[in-house]
Amino acid sequence: MCTRFDPREGMETLRGCWSTALDPMAYAADDPRNARVVIDACKPFNRRDSFPIVVRASKEVEDLVRRKFADLLPR
């Protein structure tokens, strides 16, 4: 998200969104509305061919981490 999010263009704040009384961010029990933020962190379509590739660990490092933390990581 840090490499694909442009705060000038990629963020919208929505106010007055319907929620429920179960939502701790709803401002009043008789008016269960809140605000939300929508973040566009997608690869820019007009730069899809020139945008930097996703950085990944090597297969060896990934295998090492999976062996070391096998009981904590999803399969």
Confidence band for 67, pLDDT divided at 50, 70 and 90? very high
Is residue 73, in this structure, part of any structural domain at all? no
Q: Backbone phi, then psi, for 29, in 5-degree steps?
A: -65, -35
Q: How many domains does the chain have?
A: 1
Domain ranges, residue 46: 11-68
Q: pLDDT for 11-57, tens place per residue?
A: 999 998 888 777 777 766 677 788 899 999 988 889 889 988 888 89
Is residue 75, in this structure, part of any structural domain at all? no
